[in-house]
Amino acid sequence: MKKIVVLISGSGSNMVAIKNAIDNGIISDTELSCVISNEPEAGGIEKAQHLGLPTQILSHKDFKTREIFDEELVAVIRNIDPDLVILAGFMRILTSIFTSAFEGKILNIHPSLLPKYPGLNTHESALENNDREHGITIHFVTEELDGGPIIAQGYLLISNTKDSTTLQQRIHQIEHDLYPKIINEVVANNIVYSSHGTIYHPSCQNYQDNIFYAV
């Protein structure tokens, strides 16, 4: 049985989707060992507790520097000893202290088609620039912000969507479908991190092409 830890800062919708995927067998032979948040008031913590999941709060505001916070976060996660660390709306820029501690074992989901629009406000940027397409990127995490090896991307046509809230809701549908599938392949070692890029088992090579979602 593989173990994963999910890090959140907000509502935890992707965390819930991951837990449901484990319960439904989409992610196989895996347990969600702990949900950790840097925000004491994060709505996802209450959701996790309702689902019967272990939770832990580690507020970044209790630490003088980003580095000290990351050192403590590393210690907490090492005590759990997971096979994979999942960032699911974890709104922290991680230092090399964290990324090197779990090299090749950290996944992130970002709401844009990287390398386009790293950072925040991606939905607003896509609308302001009159983009035809918008989507998500799942990638391994390195010290470079939103810059680790890409694993998979899903996209939609913006079409007549005019506001960022509606676009975000559509994007969430892609996230909740694709992220659990990728997690399943990574924990099964069918998708593997390399400093030179992502390595795919032949059964997963379809993820190298952007996946269209009619949502």
d(CA 75, CA 116): 33
Closest C-alpha among 11, 7, 1, 30 to residue 172: 11
Degrees to nearest 5, angle at CA 185 with 194 and 47: 110
The Cα diameter of the chain in Å comes to: 48
Q: Tokens 């060992």 sit at which residue?
A: 33
Q: Is 110 annotated in the active site?
A: yes
132 CB-near residues (< 8 Å, 6+ apart): 157, 158
Which helix (H) or strand (E) is 177 found in, with range? helix 164-187
Q: Residue 213 burial by CB count (10 A; 0-12/13-18/19+): exposed, middle or buried?
A: middle
User: Annotated catalytic residue: which of 50, 60, 110, 176?
Assistant: 110
Half-sphere exposure of residue 210: CA atoms within 13 angstroms, side-chain side: 14
17 CB-near residues (< 8 Å, 6+ apart): 175, 176, 177, 179, 180
CB 136 within 8 A of CB 110: yes
Catalytically annotated residues: 110
